A and B are shown apart, each in its own frame.
Chain A
Amino acid sequence: MAVNRNFRVCPSTGLSYHEPAEKLMRWNAVAAVVSLLVGGVLAVLIVLTRWQAVHLLPPDWFYLLLTAHGLDMLVFWIIFFEIAVLYFCASTLLRCRLAAPNWAWAGFWLMIVGALVNNVAVFRGDSSVMFTSYVPMGAHPAFYLGLILFAVGALIACFVFLGTLAVAKSEKTYHGSVPLVTFGAITAAIIAIFTIASGAIILIPTFLWSVGLIGHIDSLMYRTVWWAFGHSSQQINVAAHVSVWYAIAAIVFGAKPMSEKVSRTAFLLYILFLQLASAHHLLADPGLTSHWKIFNTSYAMYLAVLASMVHGLTVPGAIEVAQRQKGYNKGLFEWLRKAPWGNPSFSAMFISLIGFGFLGGISGVMMGTEQLNLIIHNTIYVPGHFHATVVIGTTLAFMGLTYFLIPTLFRRELMFPGMAKWQPYVFGLGMAGFSLFMMGAGTLGVPRRHWDITFAGNPLAYDGWAGGTAWLMIAAMAICGLLATVGGAMYLLITVGSVFLGKRIATPDFAYVKARDGVAPTMKPVEVAFEAHGSNIGTAGFVAPGTFVLALVFLLSFVLYYFVNWKYLSTVWPLS
């Protein structure tokens, strides 16, 4: 069969889109946004239920919708979007045809069918097992089957991505090393392959168990292998959104990484160590030794945390250097004050970076410490932490990238640009408050995944929640959560509006051009910023003093918070 070698060059960015890859990116992105819409509607209902004063839903609906929210958001929204990002990083950034588009479509449709089958199983009402689906709690077989189909589809997409890298190398569409953003995508794809393999190892037997072909699944075994899947999938997100940070820094500022070597080594640390941290989900489980727990969550995980801190520094550092070179060189922070705060791609990316680091990162290291984990285990602190990582970190970064993709990938003008300016702030700050108040309530002991923490009408009714403080935290959490859903709705309105109703960007001599092997179309400014290059400008003295100060503030907050929690541990667990 003839290989499709049709490319178009985006007139405003210079990026080249391979015809089949472009279509696949669009469909994956649309599927992602639809999942976000469903998950977002559910979020409103769940928040209004956990807000004890409103207590909207009855218990069975609460647990049902909570299961669906977790899956539609964390699995379907994020992974569909990530597949679009993978294809962008391989095909568009390397100016290479997508390997095996037919396989990519097969993968896409498997993912769609899987997501639908899983959602149907949940909404039937007999699969309210939460997205962790711990055995021996059983769901309808279609629940597991849907997840398995989705995972197979995603695995195919990962191999299409790797295949595209191989094609790019053999057809010499790039010289030297791949761009850093593509390298980050490689990291994400590698973690994804481990994630999906672990998922298969545990979900296939669980499916067989649900249809009666296997008699028993050990619950600790389930939890251990399941978290190799459940946690690692969060690390796909981290690798993906860090790549998006680098991409947006390159797009908005033409910023080049301060040191390619340092950034790539940090990604290598992710590949080697990030997935081991899965063990932090089992810190409170008996049966696994402290050797295993501490090796996997401390020694190894801190190397991965180090890598995140490197990215958290080099991204703003690169922006600072780029801004200073443009003349914003006064004092410590002129580069930041004069940043384009009205550009939603930038503001989303920057809020994502700060929120991920300060809220998600610091709380994550605290929780991942075996002793401290006792304080917050299974409290609402946990969703507080991960809404800071996967919502402020990943989701907001993807939102920022969307604002860039709408004109270049969908060739539509952004609708409601005034609203788009505000969207990252409403969503990001709403979510920051939501996460913080959740963590506050969790520190007071309020449990996660709980319909009624007063147990009203039961023999053991309880409403002594820290003398009202917890009630206040929960109410504040709910109000901030609703604010964040307003921000989410703004995003949905803008993207759905632009993609389907937005003004088409007219390109007079628009055409797909057939490319020969090894021919790279000429480059335009945005694209040049993605190119790999060898210069190291960030080593001598302080080229980025503002970023250095930010880093010190971060470290100080980190150390303080960490020790406060040790102090707190000594009071909640009196030994004397």
Chain B
Amino acid sequence: MDTASTDSTPANEVPDEPIPAMQQLLDNPFLLLFLGIAMPTVLYIVWGVMEIVGIPIAK
């Protein structure tokens, strides 16, 4: 895209300036969903369960 006035962009959207990466992340609910599940699953559940499983059983 050479100029800001190309017809490929709809009239009511800002034609220039690429969307920043952070905004692309925030605009993508499914990516956020992935992150929101992955973080606690790994850091809380998996790590916690591994610790519990590692406790030696009393004889």
Chain A residues proximal to chain B, CB less than 8 Å: 162, 165, 175-178, 183, 186-187, 190-191, 193-194, 197-198, 201, 218, 220-221, 224-225, 228, 232, 264-265, 268, 271-273, 275-276, 278-279, 282, 287-289, 292, 295-296, 300
Expressed in whole angstroms, the minimum distance between the Cβ of A201 and any Cβ of chain B is 8
The answer to whether residues A275 and B26 also contact, given A220-B52, A225-B45, A292-B48 and a CB cut-off of 8 A, is: no
Q: Which residues of B contact A300 (CB under 8 A)?
A: 43
Contact B27 A296 (CB under 8 A): no
How far, in angstroms, from A162 to B41 measured CA to CA in the complex?
21
Expressed in whole angstroms, the minimum distance between the Cβ of B14 and any Cβ of chain A is 8
Chain B residues proximal to chain A, CB less than 8 Å: 12-13, 22-23, 25-27, 29-30, 32-33, 35-37, 39-41, 43-45, 47-49, 51-52, 55
Contact A287 B52 (CB under 8 A): yes
Contact B55 A221 (CB under 8 A): no
Specify the main secondary structure of chain B where it touches its partner: helix
Specify the main secondary structure of chain A where it touches its partner: helix
Q: Which residues of B contact A224 (CB under 8 A)?
A: 45, 48-49, 52
Most chain A CB inside 10 Å of its own CB: which residue of B13, B35, B47: B47
Contact B35 A271 (CB under 8 A): yes
How far, in angstroms, from A281 to B27 measured CA to CA in the complex?
33
Closest to A198 in B: B45
The answer to whether residues A162 and B33 also contact, given A275-B39, A276-B40, A300-B43 and a CB cut-off of 8 A, is: yes
Expressed in whole angstroms, the minimum distance between the Cβ of A265 and any Cβ of chain B is 8
Contact B52 A221 (CB under 8 A): yes
Contact A278 B44 (CB under 8 A): yes
21 A–B contacts, CB within 8 A, in A order: A165-B29, A177-B26, A177-B27, A178-B27, A186-B32, A187-B36, A190-B32, A190-B33, A193-B36, A193-B37, A220-B52, A225-B45, A228-B44, A232-B40, A264-B26, A271-B32, A271-B35, A271-B36, A272-B36, A279-B48, A296-B44
Contact B55 A287 (CB under 8 A): yes
Contact B52 A193 (CB under 8 A): no
Contact A194 B36 (CB under 8 A): yes
How far, in angstroms, from A499 to B33 measured CA to CA in the complex?
36
